[in-house]
Amino acid sequence: MSTPAWARGPGETTGSFALESAMDELACALKMDPLALRLKNFAEVDPEGDKPWSSNYLRECYAQGAEKFGWNKRNPAPAATRDGDWLVGQGLAMGIYHASRAKASARARLLPDGTLLVQSATADVGPGTATVMTQIAADASGVAPENIRFELGDAAYPEAPGQFGSHTVASVGAAVHDTCVALKQQLLNLAFSVPDSPFAKAKLTDLVAEGGTVYLAGHPGTSRVYGDVLRQAGQPALEVTHESPEVPEKGEKSGKSFCATFVEVRVNAHTREVRMSRIVSAIDAGRIMNHQTARSQVYGALTWAIGLALMEDAVLDHRFGRITNHDLANYHVPVNADVPLTIDVLFIDQPDTYLDPMGAKGLGEIGIVGVSAAIANAVYHATGTRIRELPITPDKLL
């Protein structure tokens, strides 16, 4: 029998179910709004070590999520809202997950045709790493994204960390950014120093490189495209390899990503079947590099959170140490019919430049942290029954 391991997110996912359920239970005992209780106990610094946050927009997550959800219209009394045969409940929870940056390297190679090749031994298991790295390279180098090729997934490329722990964008992205910035500076030096340079009478600091062109600030007509600079200097290519350092989790500041999740459920008054009605997820993950891929990543996190909360349950035969529901016919995971039609993902989109020059924080895991508790809290609000063990199946509500 294998030891338990991360499947639907890290340890923060399962731990947050207990903590955020307890917060809701405390709010009920105090006859206090669960959101008001969290705001009253907001931590201005990280309680673990009293370190300042690198950034913390959890209050904004609460405010924007509550407004979008319509939290102020919620009837606080449990089992008081009904729609025909369905009991309606609303719940919330917050999530927190570490945001750090590991050591990573990248290589950038500018060719005379103006194209840029960027390489790093990172991976892309689905979140859109190649897309985001191309965007970062474009911003840092001044080369248009359509003229950039990002290569990954090969150990022959410059070293990068594994794709886990919500640190790929911060880590590899920082390396790609720093490498492309260094490459652009070399290009400016080359454009300034080549024989018969149109910039010879200017200052190096007056040169600008963007849009695939080096030009003189204030005089855009005095310019050279990147490829012409290489050809004029007789260079077959311009190449830079750079390693960017880590920003450890135990650094001077506490780097964390945050979320606030608001959910509405419907519980059948007779069968106690639980159905998800809608979800609002408000997330502080620093500057969002690509809203489309980021939103899709959160959709995936919320879908697996529904599985964790309502249906996933590995049943062990203790006689033989075997999982009895070892296939998808018997181990239930969410399908389209289990996912609510209304899912709103809100990004605070405020940069955190302590962690990396792009201002990104981790996004991969934060979307699922706390969501199972929000669902359980909504089930309590609908039925008046507190469930402390997942999954929340009808038999536990009968």
> What is the distance between the alpha carbons of residues 303 and 323, in angstroms, rounded to a whole number?
23
pLDDT at site 174: 97
> What is the distance between the alpha carbons of residues 307 and 334, in angstroms, rounded to a whole number?
5
pLDDT at site 201: 84
Asked if residue 290 has pLDDT above 90, the reply is yes
Closest CA to 81 of 394, 381, 341: 381
> What is the distance between the alpha carbons of residues 194 and 10, in angstroms, rounded to a whole number?
53
pLDDT at site 370: 97
pLDDT at site 7: 64
Q: Which domains does the chain have, with CATH numbers?
A: 11-99+252-397 (3.30.365.10), 104-244 (3.30.365.10)
Determine what percent of the chain falls in helix, strand and coil, rounding each to the nearest 5: 35, 25, 40
How confident is the prediction for the chain on average, in pLDDT?
A: 94
pLDDT at site 250: 79
Q: When comparing pLDDT for 375 and 234, which is higher?
A: 375
**Tens-digit pLDDT profile for residues 212-268:** 999 999 888 889 999 999 998 899 999 999 999 998 877 899 999 999 999 999 999
> What is the distance between the alpha carbons of residues 35 and 20, in angstroms, rounded to a whole number?
11
Active-site residue, from 12, 264, 312, 365: 365
Instruction: Provide the pLDDT confidence category of residue 5 given band limits of 50, 70 and 90.
Output: low
pLDDT at site 1: 45
DSSP labels for 131-195?
A: HHHHHHHHHHH---GGGEEEE-S-TTSSP---S-TT-HHHHHHHHHHHHHHHHHHHHHHHHHHST
Is residue 239 part of the annotated active site? The answer reads no
**Tens-digit pLDDT profile for residues 13-42:** 999 999 999 999 999 999 999 999 999 999
Q: With contact defined as beta carbons under 8 Å apart, do 370 and 93 qualify?
A: yes
Asked if residue 89 has pLDDT above 90, the reply is yes
Average pLDDT over residues 308-324: 92
Asked if residue 367 has pLDDT above 50, the reply is yes
Asked if residue 6 has pLDDT above 90, the reply is no
Q: With contact defined as beta carbons under 8 Å apart, do 352 and 277 qualify?
A: no
Q: When comparing pLDDT for 14 and 378, which is higher?
A: 378
Q: Which helix (H) or strand (E) holds 23?
A: helix 11-30
Average pLDDT over residues 282-299: 96
pLDDT at site 3: 58
Average pLDDT over residues 102-121: 97
> What is the distance between the alpha carbons of residues 86 and 222, in angstroms, rounded to a whole number?
71
Asked if residue 281 has pLDDT above 50, the reply is yes
Asked if residue 2 has pLDDT above 60, the reply is no
Question: SS3 sequence, 211-252?
Answer: CCEEEECCEEEEEEEHHHHHHHHCCCCEEEEEEECCECCCCC
CB atoms within 10 A of CB 186: 16
The residue to which tokens 């289990």 are assigned: 338
pLDDT at site 126: 84
Q: Burial, 50: exposed, middle or buried (Cβ in 10 Å; 0-12, 13-18, 19+)?
A: exposed
**Tens-digit pLDDT profile for residues 154-174:** 999 999 998 888 899 999 999
